Every structure is written in structure tokens, then in C-alpha cells.
Structure 1
Amino acid sequence: MTVLFVTGTGTEIGKTMVSAAIAATSLAVGFSVAYLKPAQTGLGPDQPGDAAEVTRLAGHELTGVELARYPDPLAPATAARRAGLPSVGPAEIAEAAAKLAAVHDIVLVEGAGGLLVRFDQEGSTLADAAKMLGAPVLVVAQAGLGTLNTAALTAEALRARALACAGFVIGSWPDDPDLAARSNLADLPDCTGAPLIGALPAGAGSLTPDAFRQAAPGWLAPRIGGLWDVDAFTAIWSSII
């Protein structure tokens, strides 16, 4: 896959860390990688955003691009309106991703919050940009209670738009997962009809860049370049139930 869209079942669940892990894993085997953040919200002009964080963790060989920035920590459409700034629509996102794909092996496009968060006043979403490119969408989910419903809704929204789901990745796997988290390892694929293809440990972003890059392949399944074994991971944690 040349262009991969990264969305979530909500906000603050690990999309940026997952993007960084995929980028680091891909760079390590010689692929050229670009990371595109269509709209960064909640930060001032001089504060480092998600593109800077992915570059810091994955490596400075990465091409990091941010299309727009808005100060309020809101959905991009709302944040753009409040700031009196132009919004970023799906055509602009798709065009930027296509240009990056012309000169990179892999392009990661990270959305804001969930799949259907609005980017412009017409109600366009990340799904519309993915549809324009026919690109697959990877979904980052939380580990514990409540994730099955939000994950199933996201998978259903992707199917309704004829978008391919690349799979689900748990954005932050706790050191001491509760019963719901352990049960979700088996239930998540059943509820969504899509494979579980990774799990990042809680606190992954606090690792040094070198440690992050060395560990990243062990968090991701082979279909996205890693070494993570979903069956072994599930068996270990399920045995504790």
C-alpha cells in the first residue's frame, strides 16, 4: 500500500504513536516514508505538532508535512471557523498525499479524532479523502471497556463507504490490562470483521527515539511490516482470564 490513512475510534488514543511506529518500521527496512497531517488543532504556531513528534521518534529521514494549523483543540472544521482561517477539504488532502506518494514508497495520512470528524464546512471527512485515492484505512482503538462499540461503528462506516479497512491497532496496551481489555483481543476482530494487526505498549512515546525504533517492529503485525504475532499475544493474555 502506497498511501495509508490512519484514523481512530476517538481522540487521544494513540494514532500518532501508531503512525510513528509504522514509519520507523518502514524506514528501518529501507522504504522512503512521508507523514501527512492535514489539520493540526490545539497548538500555537511555534509549538511542535504531530508531524514533529513522528519525525522525532521515527527518524529525520522521514518527510513530515502539515497542511493547516488551528489554535483551538476542536474538530478541524470548527477550529478553522473560529480562527477565521481556510479549512482543509478532502481534495486538498488527497492531492497532497498523491504528490507525496509520487516520491515516497509509503505515505501515512493521520486524521483528527475519529473517521467522521468534519474537516470543512461542507461536512467532509477523512473518509472522503481516502475515497478519492482508493486508499485503505487503519483504525487505532483503545484497549478497554467501550472499544467494541466504537470499533464496530467505525468498521461499519468504512464498509458503507466501500473503503478497505487495513485492520485495527490498539494504541496503548496497559501494563496490567483488566478483564475487558484482555477479552477484547479476541472480540475485536469478531465485532469489526477486520484483523487486529498490532498493539503498542502504554507509554511508548516516552521511550528514547532509538529505543522506540528498535521496539516498533515488535508492536506491528507482518502485514504492516512488523514482527508482532497476534495469536501468541492473544494466547498469553487470554490465559490470564
Structure 2
Amino acid sequence: MDVYFFTGTGTDVGKTYCASRLAQTSLAQGRRVGVYKPVASGCAIGDDGEMVAPDAKMLWESAGGPLTLHTVCPQRFEAALAPPEAAKTQNTTVDEDQLLAGIEPWIDYAPDLLIVEGAGGLFSPLSESMLNIDYALRLRERLPEMRVVLVAPNRLGVIHDCVACVRAAASAGLTIDHVLLNQINDDAHVLSDASILTNARSIERWTGCVVTNQERGLSF
């Protein structure tokens, strides 16, 4: 089983989009795909009265609808805040045991590819006592084959963000295996930002990571 943990240099950098594209590509190749997002905030109440996480729904649909949408994201909160703060608005807390236990149905599902997506950036809080990086470290103990993909927006300034994340992660004991540059700006901005053409090369030089431009494919 190939396992990828998708995280980011920050929020709204395209983690779900990139993870979903990998799920779609793998599904089209005939691979069995599993997707897991342990917790999500900024959710909405669906027609059936259940809380729906848009990111989890995108992942689930991209993977062909395996298991259930609830299994993709067991913990969902409405407020558009970091999960522990969003949970407080509902007079509860993020269940840390469930963050880890929730992946077990996906391991039992035995997919060829399992994609796990964190919430927010690598150093964003996931629960009262865990950042995303802490969760990734715990998850890698359970799944030693897991590789970490850092998604970053391909724009001026991204070199700093990637180098900072990779070095900080290394100091905490987590290796970043792959940096994925995501094109999130409009065409006019792309034409005016010369760094887009050189960022990948510079990030590879300063981090030693394999760097892929999302627009050129998602082959790891």
C-alpha cells in the first residue's frame, strides 16, 4: 500500500485539490484508492442535517466513493477556525484518539493507495495538544511506509516557506519526501511573476527534496 500524507505551507494552498487529482489519476489507472481527513472545520449542514466537510467530499468523490463520506472525515465542525477552536464553539473538543483510530477502517479496506490530508499547514493545530506535524509523526509510527507531501503555492516567496517548513520538520524528526508546487494564481499574475519558472529549481537546491510542479502532473 502506498501512503501519502498531504500537508501544506499554510491554509488554502491547494492541498485538497492536489490530493484529489492524485486520487482521480490513480483511480483512472485502475488502482483502489482510500482517502482520510481526520478532522475538518468550516463545514456546512447538508440537506439531511448532517455536517458535511467540502474537502472530504471532494476527496471521496475523486476516489470513487469508497466506504462512506463519514469514514473519510469522522470529526467535523462548523466554524471556520482551527479545529480545536472550532470544536469549542460546539462545546466539545477534538477527539485525539479518534484522529488515529479513524484510519483503521481505511487500512482494513486495503487500498493500493491511501491518501491522508491534514487540516491547515504543517504547524497548524489539529487538536488541543497536537499540531499537524505531531499527528504526522504518530501516523508514521503506524504506517512506516508513509511519505509526506508538502503542498505550496507557486509564487514569489515560496522558497522561504518551503525551506522553513522542511528544516523545521527535520528538527522535529519528520522528513518531507516531496514538495508539490501548486498554481493557484490567475493567468495575469502568472505572466507577471517570473519566480514561477525558477522556484522549483531553487527549492530543490535548498531543501534536497524532489519538487514537482502540479501543472506538469502528479507522478511521485
Which residues in structure 2 correspond to 1:12-23 (within 5 Å)? Answer: 12-23=12-23
Q: Residue 10 of structure 1 aligns with which residue?
A: 10
| Of 36, 52, 56, the match for 2:61 | 56
Counterparts of 1:186 and 1:156, CA distance in 2: 17
Give the direction of change, closer, same or farther, for the CA distance of 1:48–1:102 in structure 2 (3 Å limit).
closer
Judge conservation of contact 2:179–2:209 (CA < 8 Å) in 1. yes
Judge conservation of contact 1:21–1:58 (CA < 8 Å) in 2. no
Counterparts of 1:185 and 1:79, CA distance in 2: 35
Counterparts of 2:95 and 2:213, CA distance in 1: 30
Q: Residue 174 of structure 2 aligns with which residue?
A: 163
Secondary structure, aligned partner of 1:115: coil
Deviation at 1:73, TM superposition (A): 1.0
- Which AA in structure 1 matches 2:176? C
TM-score, reference length from structure 2: 0.82
Is 1:187 equivalent to 2:202 in the alignment? yes
For structure 2, list consecutive stretches of 5 or more residues without a partner in the other structure.
47-51, 141-145
| Alignment length (residue pairs) | 203
Deviation at 1:61, TM superposition (A): 5.0
Higher mean alpha-carbon deviation, 56-65 vs 93-102, is at 56-65
Judge conservation of contact 1:33–1:62 (CA < 8 Å) in 2. no
TM-score, reference length from structure 1: 0.75
Secondary structure, aligned partner of 1:4: strand
- Which AA in structure 1 matches 2:139? L
Q: Residue 220 of structure 1 aligns with which residue?
A: 218
RMSD between superposed Cα atoms in Å: 2.2
Which residues in structure 2 correspond to 1:28-43 (within 5 Å)? Answer: 28-43=28-43
Counterparts of 1:88 and 1:172, CA distance in 2: 34
Q: Residue 128 of structure 1 aligns with which residue?
A: 134
Deviation at 1:197, TM superposition (A): 2.6
Judge conservation of contact 1:39–1:112 (CA < 8 Å) in 2. yes
Secondary structure, aligned partner of 2:123: coil
Q: Which runs of 4+ in 1 moved over 6 A?
A: none
Secondary structure, aligned partner of 1:102: helix
Q: Residue 95 of structure 1 aligns with which residue?
A: 101
Deviation at 1:138, TM superposition (A): 0.5
Counterparts of 1:3 and 1:157, CA distance in 2: 22
Percent of paired sites with the same residue: 29
